[in-house]
Amino acid sequence: MTAGYIMLTLQFDGYGFDDFASRQALPLLNQRALITGGTRGIGLSIAKALASAGCSCILVGRDSATLSKVQHELAMPGGAEKHGVLAGDVKERSFWDEVKKGYTDLDILVNAAGITHNSLLIAMKYDTIDEVVNTNLLGSIYGCRAVLKNMVRRKGGKIINISSVLGSHKGGKGSAAYAASKAGVLGLTKALADEYGAHKIRVNAILPGYIKTDMTDAMSKEASEIAWSQIPMKRFGASEDVAHAALFLLTNEYSNGSEVVVDGGLSTF
């Protein structure tokens, strides 16, 4: 028998090896994402991670001046011209009506906008309760509703909802309205994953613990020390830790209805 060589041509889902390599390096290339709460903290870090993966990002925030500043100062691949900003309040139906009509080509929605108010429930004013619940929960519901019809039409899409371990595993003294709203976000995620999985739309949730953001910076020294004492890793997380989880969920094609906990072990305490 004469020795010889066999040449193999590798194919992956209809792509050649070079295409596969580029997809690995830029797994979200040519995809478009809308990220609420995109001017700071977790939302901004997720935007940076998605941009590094080839995605073009639309950052949503309530303050136009801050949005413009962030867009032009972001060290995001593609430059400011590849990414956009959109001013609006996520708890307002009119804002999402605008998104539904004007942004019909979205591949990804990240519901990262959120607020909290640390107070015993009996001391919270009705307006404060409404602000927290409407921003965190209704904002996410409205956002999902606004993009789902177009995602069904486009035969695919990905949604990331930012919930919290305080709404699923831990509770939290002084966080009744916040915990309730984030528990609702988790329930929303599970229901939509079931409803739209057959349409190739994946809906997943990230459950952060204490992440170093404006929210944790506003905590009192006493509250911070109590939180630290409950975290096995004895530190707050970074917003980039949550961004890494988001990138995993967006690129893992079999993740649907998942809840990824990023809390340094807090929920095991």
Angle CA(32)–CA(160)–CA(230) in degrees, nearest 5?
140
Question: Within a 10 A sphere around the Cβ of 181, how many other Cβ atoms?
Answer: 27
Phi-psi region at 41: left, alpha or beta (left = phi > 0; alpha = psi -120 to 50): left
Q: Which residues of 95-116 are buried (b: 16+ CB within 10 A; e: fewer)?
A: bbeebbeebeebbbbbbbbbbb
Residue 178 is a catalytic residue: yes
Q: Which member of 5, 103, 142, 178 is catalytic?
A: 178
Strands (E) in 78-179, as ranges, are 84-87, 108-111, 157-162
Coil/strand/helix, residue 246: helix
HSE value, Cβ hemisphere, 13 Å, CA-based, for 209? 22
Q: Which residues are catalytic?
A: 178
